[in-house]
C-alpha cells in the first residue's frame, strides 16, 4: 500500500491529533494534513514538527498513589515473576476500586473475562515459553496476548487515575513502563514477540506492548 501523501506525527498511539482538550493544537495538525492535498509530487511522507502540549503546571507533581518496590530486571524466574506481579496488583487494587467508584462504575479494563491475576499467569507463561499454545479458546495466541495485555495495562491505568488531580499520557506511560514490574514485563513481551518466528506475533510486538515514546525504558 502506497498512499499518495501522509503526515507522520510523533504522538502516542491512539492520539492522532496529539493531546485531548487542546483544540488549537489539534486544528494545527488537521490543517497540516489537509495542506498536503495541495501537493502533486507524491507519494511522500511529511513530518509534523511539534510534540503535543505538555501537562499543565498543576499536573507536574503527580505521583503513584502506592509506593511500589523498584521492579526487578531479571524476569527469568517465572514463579517469582508471577508472585511479585500479583503482589503489585494487590497493592493497586484498592486504588483501582476507588477509581472505578469515582468514574461511576466505568472501567478501562474488561476486554476479557479474566481477572488481573489470571492474566498474569497467562502472560508469564508466554514469557517463560513463547512457543505455548493460545490460552484463550477460539483465539490465536497473538490475539490472546493483545486482549489480555491490554486488560492488565488498563487495570494499572485505572488505579493510577484514582489519585485526585490529572495525569498526562506521558506521565502515565513513564510510571507504567519505568516504575512497575508489569511495565518491565511488557518490555520483555515486546522483545520476545519481535524475535518470534510468527509474523503475526512480530506485528503484535511492534504495535501493541510499548508505545514508541516509552521505548526509552527498554
Q: Are 67 and 95 in contact (CB under 8 A)?
A: no
Q: Which three cell numbers stand for residue 161?
A: 487515575
Q: What is the mean pLDDT of the chain?
A: 87
Residue 121 clears pLDDT 50, i.e. is over it: yes
From 81, 175, 68, 179, select the one nearest 122 (Cα to Cα): 81
Residue 12 clears pLDDT 90, i.e. is over it: no
From 150, 167, 158, select the one nearest 207 (Cα to Cα): 150
Lowest-confidence range among 35-39, 54-58, 154-158?
Answer: 54-58
pLDDT computed for residue 63 by the predictor: 64
pLDDT computed for residue 52 by the predictor: 81
Residue 210 clears pLDDT 90, i.e. is over it: yes
Q: What is the arithmetic mean of pLDDT over 16-43?
A: 87
Lowest-confidence range among 58-72, 99-113, 126-140?
Answer: 58-72
Give counts: helices (H), strands (E), the chain: 7, 2
From 17, 26, 19, 8, select the one nearest 172 (Cα to Cα): 19
**Residue % of the chain over a pLDDT of 70:** 90
What is d(CA 97, CA 153) in angstroms, rounded to the nearest whole number? Answer: 15
From 151, 153, 179, select the one nearest 63 (Cα to Cα): 179
What is d(CA 80, CA 36) in angstroms, rounded to the nearest whole number? Answer: 53
Residue 208 clears pLDDT 80, i.e. is over it: yes
Q: What is the arithmetic mean of pLDDT over 93-111?
A: 88
pLDDT band, very low/low/confident/very high, at 5 (cuts 50, 70, 90): confident
Grid cell 507519494 — which residue?
A: 43
pLDDT computed for residue 72 by the predictor: 83
What is d(CA 213, CA 218) in angstroms, rounded to the nearest whole number? Answer: 11
Lowest-confidence range among 13-22, 60-69, 165-174, 186-195?
Answer: 60-69
Q: Are 189 and 127 in contact (CB under 8 A)?
A: yes
Alpha-helix runs per DSSP H in 67-140: 78-102, 116-128
What pTM, to 2 d.p., does this model score? 0.76
pLDDT computed for residue 57 by the predictor: 42
Residue 59 clears pLDDT 50, i.e. is over it: no
Residue 14 clears pLDDT 90, i.e. is over it: no
Higher per-residue pLDDT: 205 or 68: 205
Using CA atoms, how far residue 217 sits from 31, 91, 177, in Å, is 33, 23, 6
pLDDT computed for residue 54 by the predictor: 63
What is d(CA 190, CA 14) in angstroms, rounded to the nearest whole number? Answer: 18
Grid cell 508489569 — which residue?
A: 182
Q: What is the arithmetic mean of pLDDT over 42-46?
A: 84
Amino acid at each position: 500500500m502506497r498512499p499518495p501523501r501522509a503526515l507522520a506525527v510523533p504522538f502516542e498511539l491512539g492520539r492522532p491529533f496529539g493531546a485531548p482538550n487542546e483544540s488549537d493544537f489539534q486544528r494545527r495538525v488537521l490543517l497540516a494534513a489537509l495542506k498536503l492535498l495541495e501537493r502533486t509530487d507524491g507519494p511522500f511522507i511529511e513530518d509534523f514538527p511539534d510534540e503535543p502540549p505538555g501537562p499543565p503546571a498543576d499536573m507536574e507533581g503527580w505521583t503513584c498513589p502506592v509506593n511500589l518496590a523498584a521492579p526487578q530486571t531479571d524476569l527469568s524466574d517465572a514463579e517469582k515473576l508471577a508472585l511479585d506481579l500479583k503482589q503489585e496488583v494487590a497493592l493497586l487494587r484498592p486504588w483501582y476500586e476507588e477509581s472505578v467508584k469515582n468514574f461511576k462504575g466505568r472501567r478501562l479494563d474488561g476486554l476479557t473475562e479474566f481477572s488481573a491475576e489470571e492474566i498474569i499467569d497467562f502472560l508469564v507463561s508466554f514469557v517463560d515459553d513463547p512457543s505455548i499454545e493460545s490460552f484463550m479458546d477460539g483465539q490465536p495466541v497473538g490475539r490472546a496476548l493483545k486482549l489480555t495485555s491490554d486488560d492488565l495495562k488498563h487495570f494499572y491505568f485505572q488505579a493510577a487515575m484514582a489519585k485526585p488531580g490529572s495525569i498526562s499520557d506521558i506521565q502515565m506511560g513513564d510510571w507504567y513502563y519505568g516504575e512497575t514490574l508489569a511495565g518491565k514485563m511488557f518490555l520483555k513481551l515486546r522483545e520476545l514477540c519481535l524475535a518470534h518466528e510468527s509474523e503475526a506475533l512480530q506485528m503484535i510486538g511492534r504495535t501493541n506492548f510499548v508505545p514508541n515514546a516509552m521505548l526509552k525504558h527498554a
